[in-house]
Amino acid sequence: MSIVYDFKENIKKDELENIAHVINDGGLVVFPTETVYGIGADATNSEAVKKIFLAKGRPQDNPLIVHISNLEMLDKYTYGINSVEKKLIDAFWPGPLTIILKSKNNLSNNVTAGLDTVGIRMPDNDIALNIIEVSQKPIAAPSANISGKPSGTKIEDIFDELNNRVDAFVDGGDTDIGIESTVVKVDNGVVNILRPGKISLEDIKALGLNVKLDRHVFEDVKDGEKVESPGMKHRHYAPKTKAILVEYDKSDKMLDKIKSYQAKNKISIGAICYKEHENELKNIGIKTIVMGSRDDLLGISRNIFSLIRGIDKYNFDVCLIEGVKKEYIGTAIMNRLIRACGYNIL
């Protein structure tokens, strides 16, 4: 049975020391960040990092993000940053931005999936920062979930699947953002977004920087292609129930599409939908799971993984999910939904 530490109200210093001992002894700790919960281990300890892959059932070719608490750690584990990377760090750290940098090769090789680069970020969460500071270790931490399932944004969603696979859980309540960090790599002065998150293309462009979305943000990665960011390949965020995405610009026609789909297939259909469409769908006998208002993208991001996790309990044959507008954090939400739906788009 994993130990659970309750830090929802405050960080307990004596328990924080215990958690740091777990990290330093090569153990695994589930802890909150501002984005999602992570499964953390000492990023310099290969055996500890190996436990992350085993706990998650994660493919070994999927690199891990390393979390730090200060810029001295950045200097210790990566080579010097350029002017564009400095501008990103000054604007967005601590915060939900991961930067791919040249590694000094003093981290575990299985953190980087054998690449000469590593994704580094400084989380904007006091619990996470304190664990890193007290343990004095950079912490490798992918999202806390069995690989392929939606990421964990609250302990209640992930405890059963990870209990006995990790040494400790730190409960900090619901996470603030609900989707993983933005991952970027600077190439020839251009900021390439490998995985979108709350820090958006529009936010980076507002700094006066050149920025673009990687083609894999909305496309699958081909077999054999190497990736520098997690979340770009392999099955992600998916329920067992077949899920189909309704793109944002088609959502006003969602009602007609559902009626047509239901008539053709004679099956049980549910929908994760905007509150604006809830009554319409209920009126035609569709079980609805409300994601929030179409105008509240941050609210949707906080809820979406938990809602996707809940789909399977309804025993739908198919669940349709309404898409959002591909702007600001909506780009990140759509990136996750496309993968959750296995690229099935209505």
For the chain, which residues make up each domain, given as ranges?
3-217, 242-340
pLDDT at position 81 is 95
Q: Report, as ranges of residue numbers, the positions in the chain whose pLDDT lies below 50.
A: none
Strand locations in 82-129, DSSP E?
Answer: 97-102, 117-121
What backbone phi and psi angles, to 5 degrees, belong to 271? -150, 135
Q: What CATH number has the domain spanning 242-340?
A: 3.40.50.11030
Q: For residues 122 and 73, what is the distance between their CA atoms, to the nearest angstrom?
A: 10
3-state SS, one letter per residue, for 248-271 = HHHHHHHHHHHHHHHHHHCCCEEE
Exposure of 187 in the CB half-sphere (CA atoms within 13 A): 10
Residues in the chain: 346
Residue 205 vs residues 20, 55, 87, 90, 124: alpha-carbon distances, Å: 38, 38, 12, 15, 22
Answer yes or no: CATH 3.30.460.10 is held by domain 3-217.
no
Query: 3-class SS at 39?
Result: strand
pLDDT at position 60 is 78
Paired residues of 185 in beta bridges: 192
pLDDT at position 227 is 59
Antiparallel, parallel or unpaired: β 168-171 and 210-213: unpaired
In which order are the strands placed within the sheet that holds 269-274?
Answer: 242-246, 318-322, 269-274, 287-292
Per-residue pLDDT of 211-267, as tens digits, reads 999 988 988 776 555 656 665 555 567 888 999 998 877 666 667 777 777 777 778
| 212 close to 192: Cβ distance less than 8 angstroms | yes
Other CB atoms closer than 10 Å to residue 17's CB: what's the count? 11
Query: 3-class SS at 128?
Result: helix
Per-residue DSSP letter, 189: T
Q: For residues 12 and 331, what is the distance between their CA atoms, to the nearest angstrom?
A: 37
pLDDT at position 286 is 86
What backbone phi and psi angles, to 5 degrees, belong to 138? -70, 140
What backbone phi and psi angles, to 5 degrees, belong to 71? -75, -20
Other CB atoms closer than 10 Å to residue 30's CB: what's the count? 28
pLDDT at position 233 is 55
Q: For residues 116 and 105, what is the distance between their CA atoms, to the nearest angstrom?
A: 7
